[in-house]
Amino acid sequence: MKTSLRTAASLALATQLVGCSPESDRPNIVLFLIDDMGWADSSVAFGDDVYPRNLIFETPNMERLAAQGVTMSAAYVSSTSSPTRNSIMTGMNSARSRHTNYGAKFLDTPTDGGDKLEVLKDDVLVPTDWNYNGIDPTGTVPHAAHCTPFPQILKDNGYYTIHVGKGHWAPMGVPAASPLNMGFCVNVAGQIVGRANSYYGEDNYGNRSDIWSWHATHNMCEYYGTATHLSDALTLEALKTLDYPIDNNIPFYLNFCHHAVHTPIQGDKRFIDKYLAKGLDHQQAAYASLVEGIDKSLGELLDYLETKGVADNTLIIFLSDNGGDCIHPEKGGVKHTHNLPLRSGKGSVYEGGIRVPMIASWGSKSANGTKTTTPVVAEDIFATILDVAGVNDYMTVQTVDGQSFAELITGSSSMDYNRPILTHFPHQWRPEVNDDIDYMTALRCGDWKLVYRHRTLALELYNLATDLGEQHNLALSEPEQLRTLAEAMTAQLKAKGALLPTLRATGECIPYPDQLINQL
């Protein structure tokens, strides 16, 4: 299937180059990226079972997308925002890009322990010298990963590339602060900040003269003072940008990145009442209403594409950038429970932090209504989108780790279920230490998952097939699996040039996991 895909698209490209192309043959592509949405925060069940959280949320348009696409049950990302977004842009695993934690707004500002610009107090570990300045398409920015973003490759091949919403690839003052330097023709609202100042048009989305407005969402003046929720405003803007390419038969790529459902958890009044009626506390209901807001956005996108007659030729990939936030009190509920049945949440390499809702739909070409448990990972999106676009002949300055999962979408072939999926997070996310949200590395291979806790140098082994919640550490009872995964994790870390934190006591890096095994 991969070959035939590439052949068809290469033909399309070749005809375009001689100046008269059947452009409509080239598929349109939409990445619909949600912020901080948990794996179970949908009426679509991404697991084998329906869990209690699935019964709370009402996401009819995700159900609609799942019915006309493939539900990806084991979609992995980094545990915080910009590492995932940068893996998507570059095809690099974040261990390779060395952009392993979320990026600050300010240049040269590591976010170890949060972005309060305070010195992190840690008696055990010294953070790595990571690429806190994000990614960089120019190769001129220190502490940033030099890359060729895939939208640039798409644009160079005639695609009309559009960014709408949250960017968060790099801090102020560097090229990757602007979508126009990342290969986008059009930018609506994309910039450096990782969250909205406010979701409320009545608040000018936080852009007011009487409050701190530096952080506000750009390009939204037309909605200032109106009752338009930011999720709705971004949707309206996104659809506007599509008229030109569709009306002129130009293939497009839309990078549609909602700020929702990130904090601030400001309810969407279109939907909050039904969740209050279900007995949720106000903040839980507010969160659920944000989820339904992005579901409505998805539905409006689907409606628009159908009305325009391009739905069947448009690939849509829906996913979240990291697991659900489980420690911010404003989300309501009990800490560390927000991704049940998964363990922990945002900032953690346990499943709750890195396994996210994902659906891929490509009109009649996708294996509609099916679910796959084959693991896929954020950096795969780079390769998948270029594959689907039929762009094969390209150069990148970076080594691309991701692989196309186009065959999983079309159902024409399978991918390796046992492919190693690495999540490397050598950081303390928040100012306060949270046991499960700390310096760690994880590797999934098939059903098995190894967790390496840097602070304690402990290895934990889980069988996800029987223990999705990672409650039963099998490190002692499955020594061969432990060794196999420790060696695989070591190989992955070395192959990708991962940075390891330093033990303050010795001044040396933490050992690789195979070294720990060999010391047993």
Q: Which stretch binds a copy of itself (CB under 8 A): 237-245, 282-290, 431-439, 498-506?
A: 237-245
- Residue 248 in contact with a copy of itself, rule: CB under 8 A: yes
- Residue 223 in contact with a copy of itself, rule: CB under 8 A: yes
Angle at 37 between CA 35 and CA 43, to 5 degrees: 140
Residue with tokens 């995964």: 485
Residue 410 near residue 391 (C-beta atoms within 8 A): no
Per CB under 8 A, contacts with a copy of itself among 80-109 are: 107
Q: How long, in residues, is the chain?
A: 520
Residue 461 near residue 482 (C-beta atoms within 8 A): yes
* Residue among 288, 270, 252 at smallest CA distance from 157: 252
Which string of b and e fits 92-101 if b means at least 16 CB within 10 Å? bbbbbbbbbb
Per CB under 8 A, contacts with a copy of itself among 12-31 are: 19-20
- Residue 198 in contact with a copy of itself, rule: CB under 8 A: no
- Residue 136 in contact with a copy of itself, rule: CB under 8 A: no
* Closest separation in Å from C-beta 45 to a copy of itself: 37
Q: Which is nearer to a copy of itself, 209 or 364 (CB)?
A: 209
Tell which one of 109, 226, 418, 481 touches a copy of itself (CB under 8 A): 226
Residue with tokens 């159902």: 411
- Residue 514 in contact with a copy of itself, rule: CB under 8 A: no
Residue 102 near residue 83 (C-beta atoms within 8 A): yes
Tell which one of 90, 204, 314, 372 touches a copy of itself (CB under 8 A): 204
At what angle are helices 282-307 and 60-67 packed, to 10 degrees? 40
**Residues facing 318 on adjacent strands:** 32, 359
Q: Which is nearer to a copy of itself, 224 or 394 (CB)?
A: 224
- Residue 301 in contact with a copy of itself, rule: CB under 8 A: no
Tell which one of 1, 8, 126, 180 touches a copy of itself (CB under 8 A): 180
Q: Which is nearer to a copy of itself, 243 or 330 (CB)?
A: 243
Residue with tokens 């196999």: 484
- Residue 253 in contact with a copy of itself, rule: CB under 8 A: no
**Could you give the count of Cα atoms lying within 13 Å of 187 in the half-sphere of its Cβ?**
18
Cα 17 from Cα 286, distance rounded (Å): 50
Residue 33 near residue 319 (C-beta atoms within 8 A): yes
- Residue 133 in contact with a copy of itself, rule: CB under 8 A: no
Tell which one of 155, 371, 419, 453 touches a copy of itself (CB under 8 A): 155
* Closest separation in Å from C-beta 35 to a copy of itself: 18
Tell which one of 3, 209, 364, 519 touches a copy of itself (CB under 8 A): 209
Q: How many helices (H) and strands (E) does the chain have?
A: 14, 19
Count of residues of this chain found to bind a copy of itself when the rule CB under 8 A is applied:
46
Residue 31: DSSP 8-state = E
Residue ranges in contact with a copy of itself by CB under 8 A: 19-20, 107, 155-156, 158, 160, 172-178, 180-181, 185-188, 191-192, 204, 207-209, 212-215, 218-219, 221-226, 237, 240-241, 244, 247-250
